[in-house]
Amino acid sequence: MRVSQKCQYALRAVFELAKRPGAEPVSTTQIAAAQAIPKGFLEVILVQLKNGGFVRSRRGMRGGYQLTPSAQTLTLGEIIRFVDGPIAPIDCMTDASRSECGLNGDCAFMPFWERVRDAVADVYETTTFQDLIDSEQAASQRHLGSNI
């Protein structure tokens, strides 16, 4: 399964918001700058994430976006599935494409592809945004320690 560029941007936007729990709303300009996301594209993604209940927005001078669920519980898999759809390493694993397959379920490769899907989904579903924050902080500490 290939994660789309749009989904990568969505993950990075959510990550940036996750790093600021309880803070004032974060502007699209701040998110775009911190995560190297084109601002126009980011605005479209944030509206989609808002419609999905992942972020909330506030208008005005001090407006911006905040993460709705906690970083401790929100997984990367939730965002990936929301933006890109089902987690499937090949097209024929989705219900819509399965009926188009000439082997129609009698494929010797299907158990293999199911194991691949399940392994990838396990990583996506067990990795929270807090895990990423903790990993970034640990790397930063290691980097600071090596400069002393």
Would you state the pLDDT for residue 147? Answer: 66
Would you state the pLDDT for residue 37? Answer: 98
Would you state the pLDDT for residue 99? Answer: 62
Would you state the pLDDT for residue 61? Answer: 85
Predicted TM-score (pTM) above 0.95: no
| Residue numbers in the chain where pLDDT is lower than 70 | 1, 95-100, 104-105, 145-148
Instruction: Map residue 58 onto helix, strand or coil.
Output: strand
Would you state the pLDDT for residue 97? Answer: 61
Would you state the pLDDT for residue 23? Answer: 78
User: How many Å apart are CA 19 and CA 61, to the nearest integer?
Assistant: 21
Would you state the pLDDT for residue 22? Answer: 82
Domain 5-146 has CATH 1.10.3260.10: no
* Amino acid occupying residue 8: Q
User: How many Å apart are CA 71 and CA 19, to the nearest integer?
Assistant: 8
End-to-end CA separation in angstroms for the chain? 42
Instruction: Map residue 72 onto helix, strand or coil.
Output: coil
Would you state the pLDDT for residue 76? Answer: 98
